[in-house]
Structure 1
Amino acid sequence: MIKIAVFASGEGTNLQALIDACRTHRIRGEIVLVVSNNKDIGALRRAQRADIPTLISHPQDFAAPEEYNAFLAQACRRANVDLICLAGFMLLLKSPLLKAYPWRIMNIHPALLPSFGGKGMYGRHVHEAVLKSGAKISGCTVHFIDEIYDHGWIIAQAPVPVLPSDTPEALAARIRYQEHWIYPKAVGLFCEGRLKVDGKGIKLLPSRHESSPRIRRALLSVADKTGLVEFACGLQEMGVEIISTSGTAKALQEAGIQIRPLDSITGCPEILSGRVKTLHPNIHGAILLRRKDPVQAREAELFGIEPIDLVAVNLYPFAQTAAKSSSPYSLEVIEQIDIGGVALIRAAAKNFEDVAVLVSPADYETLLKEMAAGQGQVSQETRRRLALSAFKHTADYDTLITKAWSSNGSSINSGSSSEQFPKELSVRLNKAQDLRYGENPHQKAALYVWGQAPDFKQIHGKELSYNNLLDASGAWETASEFNEPAAAIFKHVTPCGVGCGKTMIGAFNAAWACDPLSAFGGVLAFNHIVPVEIAQQLSQRFVEVIIAPGFAPEALALLEKKPNVRLLLRQTPPSNSLMLRSIGSEVLVTEPDRLTLGSEWKAAAKRIPSKAEDAALRFAWAVCKHVKSNAIVLAGPQATVGLGAGQMSRVDS
């Protein structure tokens, strides 16, 4: 292992970057000595916290600079030092030390050498000079030193754009951020034996592992931070370099994980309020590079493109934002249309032979286990599977956007109703859960959803069946017809009792009274929170499912004593989405029935209905559309009295 000495005169932030890089194995070396010419500085405190031996020596204690340099060389030899790194060391080193460590002393300078270097060009002075000159680009340089200030073969540079609003402090902060990445990178190359110095400069030798499919570099940029820190820790422990963007980078850094800032690769900050982050040739070239293609490999080397082997990206929550917004065309929703993320996912999936792509936190642990077992490698089978998931993910995302904008078309266009039925209709469903059985016990069934989760949540009871959900949906639709407290009881996809009232218990009793025999084993829906009085009555009755926007705590406690009843929470109103029905290889599509009686309607009979009859007719009308034809509803103003449904003859109904 390469042994490193760090010389510092100040706060030591670059020293800390090197300490962290050694700890996380980005540098395959060990810092064995920290040297300073100042006594009370941050660099020494950082070294002490890391249990690194320190040496304080002052040049004025020696007769000549050469003696001081000879002393430093002797101290480094005693510590078996292989490489010396200068991290803000404010002294010009001389030949005794340079001869002892030829091309083995590195320095980092806060500008792009050979510009803005030389005696007196350090710290704030450099950045003031850059701003005064009107330069548009600055940056930092890692180089081997010689006896001239800020001179010697350049190892690596990182550009940083100079912004119109920059102050010396602001520019210094952005450059320092790059320093903390590029310096450990250069030291890491030395420790791997990949820096060859000849008469023409420095040549970067290929890595011994360059041709292996081991994951060496990962790009993490996620909206869903679930499991992110644990995943990144696992990658870091395996020596994987982590590149990250904005919010993801912040979350990782707060967790103490070393990340490489994206702009150290692109040379450009995020722009347009974050709309453009990863859309850059250095990023997409790193992902799309075919490792075994010699022409592409030479081109990548020419442009300094470093391969990215793993891409973990999930997309902005468009669907969730759109669901909460009054319009899918609002700026808030439009800003949740992911551009760069989709491009990253598709690029990585296209190049699955060389790149692994993750779009779901559920895959993090499995991938880490495979990498650990395979010395950092991921099988082609796994890469193919992940690529397929990635393409499904982006296809689903585009479908959600299309669906949101299409469903809102009538409110923004003057077009006809035919626009609701486009020439092509894409349907993308996600499996939510398996069901207990289908329409009959010998049939299997499952529930699929348009988005990521159902509109309801089961909070109690055994597994749902196909029929349970059909009845629960019908009952919920029926109860949702009314603003006042309402209850609906369904059996075999047909209401057997519907009631309204001033209270939920009154509505429930009215609904149950319509047909108590059929209500046995039925499915109940309530449009308001279920009170304890209803739960007390149901504790003595058998029902299959109860769906409601909520349950009073006492009611929930009582109902949970019944292990077989399924309790569903739903707070969203019935959807206005198109309704689909499969008939073999064909699919019927229709609008949902949302017609309601307005304030003006025409009486077909000669006699005008009384006020009570008017109320009863309106109530019956709302219920009737949920009864299978031929449908007959007998009702009072607030409850059904009798229901005839599904008969071939109107007379029989």
Structure 2
Amino acid sequence: MADVETQKAPSPAFSSGHKQALISLSDKRELAFLGNELQRLGYSIISTGGTASSLEESGVSVTKVEDITHFPEMLDGRVKTLHPSIHGGILVRRDHHHHMEALNRHGIGTFDVVVVNLYPFYEKVTSSDKIAFEDGIENIDIGGPTLIRAAAKNHKDVLVVVDHEDYPAVLEFLRREQDDQEFRRKLAWKAFQHVASYDSAVSEWLWKQTENGEKLPPSFTVPLSLKSTLRYGENPHQKAAFYEDNSISVVNSGGIATAIQHHGKEMSYNNYLDADAAWNCVSEFKSPTCVIVKHTNPCGVASRQDILEAYRLAVKADPISAFGGIVAFNTTVDEDLAKEIREFRSPTDGATRMFYEIVVAPKYTEKGLGILRGKSKTLRILEAKKSDKGMLSLRQVGGGWLAQDSDGLTPEDIKFNVMSKRVPQESELHDAEFAWLCVKHVKSNAIVIAKNNCMLGMGSGQPNRLESLRIAFRKAGGEEEEAKGAALASDAFFPFAWKDAVEEACEKGIGVIAEPGGSIRDGDAVEFPFSSPMSGTERGCNIRNGSCKFCIGNKKKCGHGCLDCKEHLNPSMHSDQGKKSPEE
């Protein structure tokens, strides 16, 4: 839990009566300190089971709960504090005369401080040792949340404490003996958050134990805890913070949220977005790979056994965009790689040292880390664990949230289906696979051109797919030979082959196209013929790329570039009349 702000701890109202504190803890850190200090302040300590024993061992005088309730613990400890003698003393309103009369009539004393934390359910169910269902059930705390909620509800008179890090501030508060309801409210808020997070973990775990255990339950809670307050948000006028997801499903799942920052300025809102994009992209690849990201889009990607060469090629793909970007590796950054990052000159002028906001990798050698620290005082150096696949992806829309499985499919999960007459070579399929992994991380409309495990160019964010393709070709060197025979990947289908990107890609010399398909016009892209030799592939089903069933036999060329046309089964395809929308 986040610390309550207690730089100048306020103080409670003075009570001339007998002061009592109830303490029942699973996490007993700083318990001896707390017990002794409360005793010095004149509090009588009421406690349960193991907590009472620990206090007594520390020299603190303790009255056990059963001596107050005159009822022993029962049901293997399931029932300890669930008793009117306890909850009456917590919930009583001191300013209600009839409440106080009722307590006096039943011989019940009041509690001024309640210090409780809960069974380690979260820790048990997320440990590496798989917990049995019955053990999980027995670690669901009942009495603890009830005490916390009761004390938090009556925080005007009862101070509720759930975090050992708040003990010093609470003790200072009690020493001053002055009233400050703001301090009490903050502790009450923290108490309810503590219980809410606990209940969320129990709910999530129980859902996973159901027969179906579907990933999309009828309702769910996402428990978040503040990790850091950021200088500002996406724009300077926006306040921002970074919260860590404490859901059971993301424990030890890796990613930027749990990354270790070894050096540099504090992370900004945009830094987190870009670092996450770079890390997610580079984590896709099994071979040693470098990814460079700018504004969440990969502008350079290369895989090589020599990671230094991969880095150079990634920069070369778009050195202007790479400058000031985020560079990510899926291998250890050693001394040689760190030197290359530190000293490498921009290919644009051969003189300017490349500048980066962030370097992120799974591991660094000591020498490598030392060299990178010397590159810049501001360079953020992150060490991240590879993100697990299969987590739920959430996105906010006005008044609600969209949820879906994360896109965790790998090349092993999906195979290409060849749709053209010309079967692509193994090297072309490999290029298509590489391009497909890249285009997944580019903002739509997205086009990636790749060859020999290197992204040559990409076009992103254009409403018109053809414009994205033209941008990608410009980045890849225009008409230069380097892009000839390369693979092109598109993040969506090509609905009109003769006016959309397929025809232009063919004219530019692309050797193979990968696209997901899904349009009623998929057949257009497959059936439209090209003079350049190329092949089409698909990811999944419903894609049509490459050869033309219309164009066979007659060596005749129509006005739209078709070769070998004998007859067109659907002549309206070559006119602006009679077209259907891609979605029809």
Per the alignment, residue 418 of structure 2 pairs with: 603
Q: CA RMSD in A?
A: 3.3
State the match for 1:394 in structure 2.
Answer: 195
Map 1:79-94 to 2 at 5 A. Answer: none
Aligned amino acid, residue 202 of structure 2: I
Match of 1:384 in 2: 185
CA distance in 1, matches of 2:18, 2:386: 45
- Alignment of 1:579 with 2:375, yes or no, is no
Written as runs of structure 1 = structure 2, the 5 A alignment for 1:153-168 is none
Cα distance, 1:484 vs structure 2: 3.9
The 3 A distance-change label for structure 1 pair 216 and 576 is farther
CA contact (8 A) 2:283 2:386 kept: no
Within the candidate set 409, 434, 445, 1:630 is matched to 445
Tell me what 2:216 maps to. 420
- Deviation per residue, 1:592-629 (Å, 9 max, x gap): 22233426442222233322223222222222111111
For residues 551-600 of structure 1, give each alpha carbon's deviation from its aligned partner in whole angstroms, at most 9, with x where no partner exists.
Answer: 22222222223211112232252464433333444544443222334264
| CA distance in structure 2 between the aligned counterparts of 1:213 and 1:388, rounded to whole angstroms | 27
Counterpart selection for 2:360 from 536, 542, 547: 547
Q: Do the aligned residues in 2 keep the contact of 1:617 with 1:637 (CA within 8 Å)? A: no
In the TM superposition, what whole-angstrom CA distance separates every residue of 1:492-534 from its partner, at most 9, and x where no partner exists? Answer: 1101122334465454444334333322211122334322222
Q: Which residue of 1 aligns with 2:225?
A: 430
Residues 317-339 of structure 1: per-residue CA shift (max 9 Å, x gap): 44444444587984454444322
Structure 2 CA distance for aligned equivalents of residues 363 and 510 of structure 1: 52
Residue matched to 1:564: 378
Deviation at 1:632, TM superposition (A): 1.5
Residues 253 and 395 (structure 1 numbering): CA distance in 2 closer, same or farther, change over 3 Å? Answer: same
1:216, 1:240 within 8 Å by CA — same for their partners in 2? yes
Rounded Cα–Cα distance in structure 2 between residues aligned with 1:293 and 1:239: 25
Aligned to 1:310: 113
* One-letter code aligned to 1:552: T
Question: Structure 2 counterpart of 1:617, which letter?
Answer: A
Cα shift at 1:342: 0.7
* Identical residues among aligned pairs (%): 42
Q: Report the Cα distance in structure 2 between the residues aligned to 1:268 and 1:506, rounded to whole angstroms.
A: 74
Conserved 8 A contact 1:213-1:354: no
SS of residue matched to 2:339:
helix
Q: Quick check: 267-276 or 225-234, which moved more?
A: 267-276
Give the aligned residue type for 2:216. Q
Distance 1:215 1:514 in 2: 75
Aligned residues: 436
Partners of 2:204 and 2:220 within 8 A in 1: no
Q: Deviations over 1:288-336 (max 9, x none)?
A: 2344555554554455433222111223344444444587984454444
Question: Is residue 533 of structure 1 aligned with residue 336 of structure 2?
Answer: yes
**2:429 equivalent to 1:614:** yes
Give the whole-Å Cα distance in 1 for the aligned partners of 2:446 and 2:189: 48
Deviation sequence 1:23-56 (CA, Å, 0-9, x none): xxxxxxxxxxxxxxxxxxxxxxxxxxxxxxxxxx
Letter aligned with residue 642 of structure 1: G
Q: Which has the higher contact order (CA 8 A, sep 6+)?
A: 2
Q: Residues 555, 323 of structure 1: CA spacing in aligned structure 2 closer, same or farther, 3 A cutoff?
A: farther
Q: Distance in 1 between matches of 2:53 and 2:392?
A: 42
CA distance 1:607–1:337, shift in 2 (3 Å): farther
Distance 1:389 1:592 in 2: 32
The aligned counterpart of 1:65 is none
1:440 aligns with 2:235: yes
Look up the match of 2:408: 594
The alignment status of 1:523 with 2:326, answered yes or no, reads yes
Alignment-derived partner of residue 174 in structure 2: 371
After superposing the two structures, state which structure 1 stretch, 444-453 or 604-613, moved more: 444-453
Q: 1:649 to 1:216 in 2, by over 3 A?
A: same
Q: Given the two structures, how large is their TM-score scaled by the length of structure 1?
A: 0.60
Q: List runs of 5+ in structure 2 lacking aligned partners.
A: 1-12, 252-256, 344-353, 469-584
Shift of 1:219: 1.5
Q: Do 1:489 and 1:496's aligned partners in 2 also have CA atoms closer than 8 Å? A: yes
Structure 1 pair 585/222, CA: closer, same or farther in 2 (3 Å)? same
State the AA in 2 paired with 1:231. Answer: L
TM-score, with length taken from structure 2 = 0.66
CA distance, structure 1, for counterparts of residue 134 and residue 306 of structure 2: 42
Q: Distance in 2 between matches of 1:617 and 1:247?
A: 63
1:83-117, Cα deviation, whole Å (9 max, x unpaired): xxxxxxxxxxxxxxxxxxxxxxxxxxxxxxxxxxx
How much has 1:348 moved relative to structure 2?
Answer: 0.9
Given the alignment of the two structures, is residue 481 of structure 1 paired with residue 284 of structure 2, yes or no?
yes
Question: In 2 relative to 1, CA 581–518 (structure 1 residues): closer, same or farther, beyond 3 Å?
Answer: same
Runs of 4+ residues over 6 Å off in structure 1: 326-329
Does the C-alpha gap of structure 1 residues 574 and 275 become closer, same or farther in structure 2, counting only changes over 3 Å? same
CA distance in 2 between partners of 1:367 and 1:593 (Å): 47
Equivalent-residue separation in structure 2 for 1:602 and 1:536 (angstroms) = 43
SS in 1 for 2:328: strand
Letter in 2 for 1:392: Q
Name the residue aligned to 1:647.
462
Specify the alignment match of 2:500 in structure 1: none
SS of 1:233's equivalent in the other structure is helix
In the TM superposition, what is the alpha-carbon distance from 1:471 to its structure 2 partner? Answer: 0.7
Residue 417 of structure 2 aligns to a residue whose secondary structure is coil
